[in-house]
Structure 1
Amino acid sequence: MTEPGEPGRVRTRKGYPAKRRAILRASRKVFGQAGYGGASIDEIAEEAGVSTRTIYNHFVSKEELFATVVTESTEQVADSHEAMTLRHLGGVAAGDDLEADLIRLARDWVRPRPEFTDHFAIVGRISTAGDDFPAHLRETWQKAGPLRVQRTLASCMSRLAERGLLRVPDVDFAAQHFVVLVTNTWGRGPAGADAMCEDELNAMATAGVRAFLYGYLPRG
């Protein structure tokens, strides 16, 4: 077996799937708490209940581990957001009551999902790290999640615009604008939407949608 961190190390070993899942689960938690720079392989190994050698049997480096964690968890979140977008805006009846459709989408979008808590903790770390965060890892995250979901939302808005239900000169910008408006938790403390009750989440989603429609409903 090759030494930890060496290219060409052996990854296939008995118990690989279970150990890999434990490592990724622990990594999401530790990276979410400490950030990429602050997390150590030793901490992740302790959280996962494995040795550091076991981690290096599966991943070349902390960077590869982080990229895998971010990509896999981001794809899970993107799958969820794409599904909810298509559920509310992708059907043949979508837009018959546009405000109601958008509010239902916004409510689903902002409602906290416990299974994604560690993922969004990591995203928060990425967002606040600025230039200190490796650019290629930030790009990995954006391509796996935000940009993919934005394309789906933009496509739905394009179809609504073709039907004359929205006035959207730039569908990509409109998709970004929608997400910013419905997820705005400014002034609500570090817990953000996680600390809000259902009525508050509904009010935030509704206010965001109405602000969006004010700018994007056809004039005339």
Structure 2
Amino acid sequence: MRQGMAEKRSAIVQGARKVFGRDGYTRTSIDAIAEQAVVSTRTIYNHFPGGKVQLFRAVVVEGSEPAVEAQLDAIDRRLHRVTAAGLEQDLVEFVAAWIAASHRFADHFAVIRQLRAESAHVPREFLTAWRRSGPQRASDVLAGRFAALAADGLLATDDPARAARHLLLLTVNEINEVSFDGALTLSQEAERAIVESGVRAFLRGYAPR
């Protein structure tokens, strides 16, 4: 793909990400995307002959890749060498890095919130493609790391994948709930307090007796 065409396609995808994240899949029009991307509707169809359906899939799948890489980096950097003495702090720092990735790719996660809200109105294949390219990759790696922590005697669980989900539910999901999925901005101090409280609650359930 020539540079000019690649740049035009990138502008379309970025513009579509903004509009889908703001208006959702059902209410978004190609005209609105063209206006946001500062291109003609004909240009959009030249790059995405399938129109809104094809473009939404590109936005969801392509946007997942860098976001997941940031989450995998958080796992690798924060849960690489964990000791019993440092377990609580390492988990806190891991969750903080995971949340930082969400902030860094806020436009992508805005689209994902819309995808979840409109899951009954988007093609089922989109949900499968997103899960395969996005959260499932990160979840599998995180579950593997929790399995290693359990094998080292640092966590008490026979279901590492569920334990990982519980940690994120007690921290990331609570932040999303309190902030109305990012509509309200929480201070770093408020986010940190939620993370620390969630990690303590997690360890009360999963720390070895």
Tell me if both proteins adopt one fold, taking TM over 0.5 as the criterion. yes
Q: Distance in 1 between matches of 2:24 and 2:31?
A: 14
- 1:8 — aligned with what? none
Q: Could you report, residue by residue, the CA deviation over 1:30-53 in whole angstroms, capped at 9, with x for unpaired residues?
A: 110111111111111111111111
After superposition, the Cα gap between the structure-2 partners of 1:188 and 1:135, relative to the gap in structure 1 and judged at 3 Å, is: same
Structure of larger gyration radius: 1
Distance 1:83 1:187 in 2: 25
CA, structure 1 residues 165+173, in 2 after alignment: closer, same or farther (shift >3 Å)?
same
Cα separation, 1, equivalents of 2:83 and 2:156: 13
Same amino acid, percent of matched pairs: 38
> Structure 1: how far apart are the matches of 2:93 and 2:102?
16
Q: Deviations over 1:80-103 (max 9, x none)?
A: 00001110112xx32341101001
The residue identity in structure 1 corresponding to 2:203 is L
Tell me which amino acid in the other structure corresponds to 1:108: A
What TM-score, normalized to structure 1? 0.87
Aligned with residue 73 of structure 2, among 62, 83, 88: 83
2:67/2:102 contact within 8 Å kept: no
Q: Give the length in aligned residue pairs.
A: 206
Look up the equivalent residue of 1:68 and give its one-letter code: A
Aligned partner (choices 157, 162, 165) of residue 154 of structure 2: 165
Which AA in structure 1 matches 2:89?
A: A
Stretches of structure 1 lacking an aligned partner (at least 5 in a row): 1-11
Give, in whole Å, the separation in 2 of the partners of 1:158 and 1:77: 23
Report the CA distance shift for 1:113/1:179 in structure 2 as closer, same or farther (over 3 A): closer
Deviation string, structure 1 residues 113-167 (Cα, Å, up to 9, x no partner): 5541211111111122242232211111111111111011111111111111101
Distance 1:14 1:121 in 2: 28
Correspondence for 1:131: 120
What is the aligned partner in structure 1 of residue 94 from structure 2? 105
TM-score under structure 2 normalisation?
0.91
Contact 2:74 2:94 in 1 (8 A): yes
Query: 23, 34, 37: which one pairs with 1:45?
Result: 34
* Distance change >3 Å, CA 52–CA 192, structure 1 → 2: closer
Q: What CA RMSD, in Å, does the superposition of the two structures yield over aligned residues?
A: 1.9
